[in-house]
C-alpha cells in the first residue's frame, strides 16, 4: 500500500520544475485548476493533456510514478464519472429508466470529468514531488500574508497544511503495518457483507488514531524544544527568490490560456466537440 501512495512525497532532482520557486508552482497549480474548467471540447482537453505531459517530462520523474499517484483515488474518480453518466441527460438517449438516464451527453461529460480529475491529481502530485516540505510551507505562508491583517495565524496554517501533506505517506505506512498485523491474526479484509466489513475496519482505525495522536505529541514536543513560536522572531534558512524561469513559467500559462480561449471559440458543432 505504501508503495502506491505518491502524493505528499518529495523526490530530489535538478529539473526545471524543481528549479521553479515554490510560490510559482502553487500559483500555477491553482491557476491550472481554474482554467481547466474552461475546457469544454476535445480540442481544449487535448491541449490540457499535452501541457500536463510536458510538465511530467520536465520534472525528470518517470510517468509511472504519477500513475501510481492516481491509483489510490481511482475509485473515487470512477464513482464521480458514473454519477455524471447516469444522471446527465441530453443528446441521444440510450437508456431512460426513471431518474437514471444514459445519454451521449452524459457519457462524454463523464469522460471529461475523468480527464479533469486525473489532470488535477497529476499536477498536484508534480508540485509535491518537486517541492520540499519547508519550501511548500514558506510558499503557503507567503501567499497567505494578506490574511495577517485579519489577525489570522498565517504561519500556523501554513505549517498545519505542510505537516498534513508530509504525514500522508507516514499514515499510510502505519495503516499498512496494522493491516498486515491483523492479517497475521487471521483477519480477512473485503470478505462478508457491508456490516461485517465495517466491523473489520474498526480495529484498524483505533490504533491508527492512537498512533497519529502520539506522533502529533512527539512533533509538538520537538518543535517546542527547538524554540518554535510561530512566526514570532522567526528567520528562514532558505529565502525564496523569483528567477527568470518563474517569469517564463507564468508566460507559458498566459499562452496556454490564450490557446484555450481560441480553441473554445473555434469549437465544432459536432457532438464530440461540444462542451457541457
Using the predicted structure, report yes or no on whether residue 25 has a pLDDT greater than 50.
yes
Using the predicted structure, report yes or no on whether residue 29 has a pLDDT greater than 70.
yes
DSSP class of residue 62 equals: -
Q: Backbone phi, then psi, for 70, in 5-degree steps?
A: -85, -35
Q: List beta partners, residue 61.
A: none
Using the predicted structure, report yes or no on whether residue 272 has a pLDDT greater than 50.
no
Residue 227 — very low, low, confident or very high, per pLDDT cuts 50/70/90? confident
Q: What is the mean pLDDT of the chain?
A: 80
> What confidence score (pLDDT) does residue 184 get?
82
DSSP class of residue 238 equals: S
Using the predicted structure, report yes or no on whether residue 189 has a pLDDT greater than 70.
no
Residue 232 — very low, low, confident or very high, per pLDDT cuts 50/70/90? low
Neighbouring C-beta atoms of residue 253, cutoff 10 Å: 17
In angstroms, the CA 39 to CA 145 distance is 31
Neighbouring C-beta atoms of residue 46, cutoff 10 Å: 13
> What confidence score (pLDDT) does residue 59 get?
92
Q: Of 155, 161, 162, 160, which Cα lies nearest the Cα of 141?
A: 155
Average pLDDT over residues 165-191: 76
> What confidence score (pLDDT) does residue 52 get?
95
pLDDT > 90 in the chain, percent: 22
Average pLDDT over residues 234-242: 70
Residue 78 — very low, low, confident or very high, per pLDDT cuts 50/70/90? confident
> What confidence score (pLDDT) does residue 190 get?
63
> What confidence score (pLDDT) does residue 271 get?
41
In angstroms, the CA 108 to CA 225 distance is 56
Q: List beta partners, residue 175.
A: none
Neighbouring C-beta atoms of residue 47, cutoff 10 Å: 16
> What confidence score (pLDDT) does residue 80 get?
82
**pTM for the model:** 0.74
Lowest mean pLDDT among 5-9, 213-217, 245-249: 5-9
Residue 235 — very low, low, confident or very high, per pLDDT cuts 50/70/90? low
Residues 69 and 84 sit within 8 Å (Cβ to Cβ) = no
Residues 211 and 174 sit within 8 Å (Cβ to Cβ) = yes
Q: Which residue intervals of 60-193 are DSSP H helices? A: 63-70, 74-87, 104-129, 133-143, 154-184
- What does the pLDDT look like over 124-166, one tens digit per residue? 989 989 988 778 878 888 888 888 787 777 777 877 877 777 7
In angstroms, the CA 230 to CA 20 distance is 26
Lowest mean pLDDT among 43-47, 92-96, 266-270: 266-270
Residue 27 — very low, low, confident or very high, per pLDDT cuts 50/70/90? very high
Using the predicted structure, report yes or no on whether residue 275 has a pLDDT greater than 70.
no
The more confidently predicted of residues 168 and 27 is 27
> What confidence score (pLDDT) does residue 2 get?
42
* Residues 233, 167, 6: CA angle, nearest 5 degrees: 125
> What confidence score (pLDDT) does residue 269 get?
47
- In sequence order, which residues have a C-beta less than 8 Å from that of residue 67 and are 6 or more positions away? none
Pair type for strands 100-103 and 93-97: antiparallel
Amino acid at each position: 500500500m505504501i508503495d502506491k501512495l505518491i502524493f505528499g512525497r518529495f523526490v530530489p532532482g535538478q529539473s526545471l520544475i524543481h528549479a521553479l520557486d515554490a510560490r510559482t508552482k502553487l500559483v500555477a497549480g491553482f491557476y491550472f485548476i481554474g482554467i481547466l474548467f474552461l475546457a469544454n471540447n476535445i480540442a481544449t482537453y487535448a491541449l490540457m493533456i499535452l501541457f500536463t505531459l510536458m510538465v511530467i517530462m520536465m520534472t525528470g520523474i518517470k510517468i509511472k510514478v504519477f500513475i501510481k499517484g492516481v491509483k489510490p483515488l481511482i475509485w473515487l474518480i470512477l464513482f464521480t464519472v458514473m454519477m455524471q453518466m447516469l444522471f446527465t441527460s441530453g443528446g441521444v438517449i440510450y437508456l431512460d429508466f426513471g431518474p437514471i438516464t444514459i445519454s451521449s451527453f452524459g457519457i462524454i461529460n463523464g469522460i471529461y470529468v475523468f480527464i479533469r480529475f486525473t489532470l488535477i491529481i497529476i499536477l498536484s502530485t508534480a508540485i509535491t514531488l518537486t517541492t520540499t516540505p519547508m519550501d511548500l510551507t514558506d510558499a503557503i505562508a507567503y501567499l497567505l500574508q494578506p490574511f495577517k491583517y485579519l489577525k489570522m495565524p498565517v504561519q500556523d496554517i501554513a505549517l498545519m497544511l505542510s505537516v498534513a501533506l508530509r504525514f500522508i505517506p507516514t499514515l499510510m505506512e502505519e495503516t499498512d503495518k496494522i493491516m498486515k498485523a491483523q492479517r497475521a491474526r487471521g483477519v480477512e479484509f473485503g470478505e462478508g457483507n457491508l456490516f461485517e466489513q465495517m466491523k473489520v475496519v474498526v480495529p484498524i482505525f483505533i490504533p491508527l488514531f492512537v498512533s497519529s495522536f502520539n506522533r502529533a505529541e512527539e512533533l509538538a514536543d520537538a518543535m517546542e524544544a527547538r524554540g518554535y513560536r510561530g512566526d514570532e522572531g522567526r528567520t528562514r534558512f532558505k529565502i525564496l527568490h523569483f528567477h527568470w524561469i518563474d517569469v517564463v513559467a507564468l508566460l507559458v500559462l498566459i499562452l496556454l490560456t490564450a490557446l484555450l480561449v481560441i480553441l473554445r471559440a473555434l469549437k465544432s458543432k459536432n457532438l464530440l466537440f461540444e462542451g457541457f
